[in-house]
Structure 1
Amino acid sequence: MKILLVEDDKTIGAGLEYSLQQEGYTTVLCNDVASGREALNKNQFDLCLLDLSLPDGSGYELCKIAREKWDIPIVFLTACDDEVNVVMGLDMGADDYITKPFRIRELLSRIKSILRRYHKDSSQKTIFELNDVRIHTLDAKVYKKGVEVNLTALEYRLLLTFISHEGQVLTRNQILEGIWDVAGNFVNDNTLTVYIKRLREKLEDDPQNPMIIKTVRGLGYKVGD
């Protein structure tokens, strides 16, 4: 598997590259947005590790480019664990983040967990239908009445959690566990309510009377019959 690593601290970058290669990954190491953009245009990657703060821009720019090209995992490396920055990154399409300083074994474990999830998702049923909504998991696209719906990474992961348990009542804790490797501590019970509301606004004909993501009072939520 080929990983794009963009890190402006050359010492940290070299150490990460060595550790990733020891695990059997092929790596392309870049130190700024410009070289990262060039690498994305010349290579097909299986995962991106992007430093958030770069000398000529930010990892957000590279995340946007990568998301336009492929459905691959994207992990931010950041020295700032401010909730606003992290949630903005997740909304832009990142799958996870890890705050510096971090232990290399933790990073490798997170990478393996995300890659397993992606492979699991792609090996199962690839097209789901919920009323007039169609979910194509191979290219991570969602359509309502034939028109593509733009979902953030976290909204999409939340939808996947629902459709993988179609017909079942999911408690809020079960839903949180389903998206935990994407958002970590920054999706709590209150934030989950916001994301369910946002997802309903994008998918339901009448978000106030949802017919796709139904509330089962006192228990949780249910998708499907």
Structure 2
Amino acid sequence: MKVLIIDDEKLLVKGLKKSLEQEGFQVSAAYDGEEGLKIFETNGFDLVILDLMLPKIDGISVCRRIRQMGDTPVIMLTAKDSDVDKILGLELGADDYMTKPFNTRELIARMRAILRRVEKQENKEKETVYTSGDLEVNPNYRVVKKTDREVELTPKEFDILELLIRNKGRVFSREEIFTLVWQEPCLDTRTIDVHIKNLREKLRDHGKESPMIQTKWGVGYYFRRD
């Protein structure tokens, strides 16, 4: 497991780095927020230990930036011991919070607990297969099967189908589908209509009394609840 420590207290970092390496972790260190973000952005890490008070870029801003880039677990460190700081840290997306001085063994125990939880969640997500009747949608492998035969979809067709089947019964407007799938403002809602038409044909879901992908007239589309 690769860990990044971002803290300007060099003696603390030196001691913590040694302890973590003895536990089998690969450890990188940065001593200000700017350096920490550069190292984080150019390397993959399993967990970040982040001080709240940092030179150049403070820990709050660093945590926000890490959250924008993904779900890497963050444990925040601070010299302040107050509920306000704790709530602030957790609301920013930190997974845990420790006040200095802290017990290294406790920190390691919390790290392992977070990493176990993340691994469990990742395994659960990998195992998720969405089904409806004889239709199977596997997001991890991006495979769609109908009556045990693979259905060839374009990347965008798959993304639309996954969005709808993952949220069965929820109606999405054409604008919402476009924004969520294309990750940009909707310029032409007719694009969604064409993709839905193609999906229905490929899934042999066209013209049935109760198709899997249903239309909410004047609103948008949704995947039928089983």
TM range (shorter): 0.5 to 0.7
How many correspondences in the alignment?
Answer: 139
Residue 128 (structure 1) shift: 9.5
DSSP-derived class of the 1:81 partner: coil
Where does residue 22 of structure 1 map in the other structure?
Answer: 22
DSSP-derived class of the 2:34 partner: helix
Alignment of 1:188-203 (within 5 A): none
1:57 aligns with 2:57: yes
Q: Deviations over 1:15-71 (max 9, x none)?
A: 111111111111110000111111112111110000011122321111112112221
1:120 aligns with 2:99: no
Where does residue 71 of structure 2 map in the other structure?
Answer: 71
Alpha-carbon separation, structure 2, partners of 1:71 and 1:86: 19
Letter aligned with residue 63 of structure 2 = C
Q: 1:125 to 1:32 in 2, by over 3 A?
A: closer
Where does residue 8 of structure 2 map in the other structure?
Answer: 8
Letter aligned with residue 76 of structure 2 = F
Larger radius of gyration: 2
Residue 8 (structure 1) shift: 0.5
Q: Name the TM-score, length of structure 1 as normaliser.
A: 0.56
Where does residue 45 of structure 2 map in the other structure?
Answer: 45
| Structure 1: stretches of 5+ with no match in the other structure | 130-136, 149-225
Where does residue 105 of structure 2 map in the other structure?
Answer: 105
DSSP-derived class of the 1:57 partner: coil
Where does residue 87 of structure 1 map in the other structure?
Answer: 87
Q: Deviations over 1:167-211 (max 9, x none)?
A: xxxxxxxxxxxxxxxxxxxxxxxxxxxxxxxxxxxxxxxxxxxxx
Residue 84 (structure 1) shift: 1.5
Alpha-carbon separation, structure 2, partners of 1:110 and 1:117: 11
Letter aligned with residue 29 of structure 1 = A
DSSP-derived class of the 2:27 partner: strand
Q: Deviations over 1:56-100 (max 9, x none)?
A: 232111111211222121100111121112112111111001111
| Structure 2: stretches of 5+ with no match in the other structure | 131-138, 141-165, 178-226
Higher relative contact order (CA closer than 8 Å, sequence separation 6+): 1
Runs of 4+ in 1 over 4 A off after TM superposition: 125-129, 142-148
RMSD (Å), alpha carbons: 2.7
Residue 125 (structure 1) shift: 4.4
Q: 1:101 to 1:145 in 2, by over 3 A?
A: farther
Q: 1:108 to 1:145 in 2, by over 3 A?
A: farther
